[in-house]
Chain A
């Protein structure tokens, strides 16, 4: 299940944030926010996606740039909500 969640999130990040023709490599460990792929404002789309997809509410205090900085970090965050 965890592998599947990882894949779903990675696919979302690639589709949502990479422009057509952007061939930057994004994998489970890639720093997407501190690495400059996603800015802190655009990050809100990721929050909307996770909340809708997994039917959870992520409080702002938990939706930090650090928590969203890689697919692995996001998976760890989801675990806190019982999603794994």
Chain B
């Protein structure tokens, strides 16, 4: 038998080693639809506890919106449960093409192709488009899915220091002999919550004849005056060659992602994108739900405006309370604790106070930069944020970190 006692013991040892390094990820069970207040079992099987959710990507609060749920039901009723096929065999319905057209219009691009997830979109796009005569020059803090996509491509890989335009320029100069130079960046960086300097990136791309890829997963729907993302925020809509984004965060939160951009690039993804070619079409209920989301946010900016107000309030309130946050404009607000154990203890104490926010530490973030990542939603009302603030202050007092500098926290708790 291949799964011998020796293999079993070796794998169990690996699991144990993850635990002893403090890297074991434990799931909590949410016993309610996704929202600003949820019922959670933690650990799973324990009594349910009502908590304020400060860690969902539900930026616009549309994950359980009745109109979106109704549209998903309609998709189920009219186009069925699943396609039992990849897109190019018999998995493409009229509604898939309609959603792709709506995304093209929303993102201000030439064409769009749906993928089962944004992870899949990022994993498939570079291999489909680039050759060994090309180079990918990526910001060092890009999402893991893009790293995987880059590793699958034949083009040369290079990186630049996070948001360091001088360093990017040096790399563009270094690679002038390549056929295609593709600059790769996230729109909002998911662990730090800062935005890419996209206007400067586009400027450099024009100067050094490069193309631009941006992952708008954490920005689509709420960054920019009408929520079109980082490109809208920096006034460079239409100048980005490849945009990837997700339907799994602000845009409804179910699943599915896309590549949107230049027509030929999208066509190459349709012909060669392996995650597109070899996995099932997005389910009809999700397609119709997503179209409803795009309709809702195209009619009014009410939700992204409320999220912006919440974000400004929360960033200011945490700062006034004496906590250290990463500066930025997005709804991702990391509260810096630096020490890994402190981030875990702080998160547990917050949960006891009815606040659900997760601590992150190495290797998810660099060593010595452990944090609690908080995320705002348009579903949060002011009273949610005030209660969350009270909890942060209470727990912050317990650990005596309020008003302390980074060095003082490190001196006390270590890195």
What residues of chain A have their CB less than 8 Å away from a CB belonging to chain B?
16, 19, 36, 39, 41-42, 44-45, 48, 52
> Of B75-83, B152-160, B268-276, B308-316, which binds chain A?
B152-160
Residues of A within 8 A of B45 (CB): none
Contact A19 B156 (CB under 8 A): no
Contact A45 B367 (CB under 8 A): no
Contact A42 B140 (CB under 8 A): yes
Contact B366 A44 (CB under 8 A): no
Shortest distance in angstroms between A71's beta carbon and chain B's nearest beta carbon?
19
7 contacts between A and B (CB under 8 A): A16-B161, A36-B366, A41-B138, A42-B159, A44-B157, A45-B158, A48-B158
Shortest distance in angstroms between A44's beta carbon and chain B's nearest beta carbon?
4
Contact A41 B147 (CB under 8 A): yes
Report the count of interface residues on B (CB-CB < 8 A).
14
What residues of chain B have their CB less than 8 Å away from a CB belonging to chain A?
138, 140, 147, 150, 156-159, 161, 174, 362-363, 366-367
Residue of A nearest to B147 (CB): A41
Given A19-B161, A48-B156, do A41 and B140 touch, yes or no (CB 8 Å)?
yes
What separation, in Å, do the CA atoms of A19 and B157 have in the docked complex?
A: 21
9 tightest Cβ-Cβ pairs between the two chains A and B: A36-B367, A44-B157, A42-B140, A45-B159, A41-B147, A42-B159, A48-B158, A45-B158, A44-B159
Shortest distance in angstroms between B157's beta carbon and chain A's nearest beta carbon?
4
Residues of B within 8 A of A16 (CB): 161
Inter-chain contact total with CB atoms closer than 8 Å: 25
What separation, in Å, do the CA atoms of A19 and B158 have in the docked complex?
A: 17
Residue of B nearest to A15 (CB): B167
Residues of B within 8 A of A44 (CB): 157-159
Residues of B within 8 A of A52 (CB): 174
Residues of A within 8 A of B161 (CB): 16, 19
Q: Which of A39, A42, A52 has the most CB of B within 10 A?
A: A42
Contact B366 A41 (CB under 8 A): no
Shortest distance in angstroms between A42's beta carbon and chain B's nearest beta carbon?
5
Residue of A nearest to B415 (CB): A36
Given A19-B161, A45-B158, A48-B158, do A39 and B140 touch, yes or no (CB 8 Å)?
yes
What separation, in Å, do the CA atoms of A42 and B147 have in the docked complex?
A: 10
Residues of B within 8 A of A42 (CB): 140, 159
What separation, in Å, do the CA atoms of A36 and B157 have in the docked complex?
A: 20
Q: Which of A36, A41, A42, A48 has the most CB of B within 10 A?
A: A41
Shortest distance in angstroms between A35's beta carbon and chain B's nearest beta carbon?
8
What separation, in Å, do the CA atoms of A45 and B161 have in the docked complex?
A: 10
What separation, in Å, do the CA atoms of A36 and B362 have in the docked complex?
A: 9
What separation, in Å, do the CA atoms of A44 and B155 have in the docked complex?
A: 12
Residue of B nearest to A36 (CB): B367
Residue of A nearest to B171 (CB): A45
In the complex, besides A36-B362, A41-B140, 8 extra interface pairs with C-beta distance below 8 angstroms are A19-B161, A36-B366, A39-B363, A39-B366, A42-B140, A45-B158, A48-B157, A52-B174
Shortest distance in angstroms between B127's beta carbon and chain A's nearest beta carbon?
16
Residue of A nearest to B162 (CB): A19
Residues of B within 8 A of A45 (CB): 158-159
What separation, in Å, do the CA atoms of A45 and B363 have in the docked complex?
A: 20
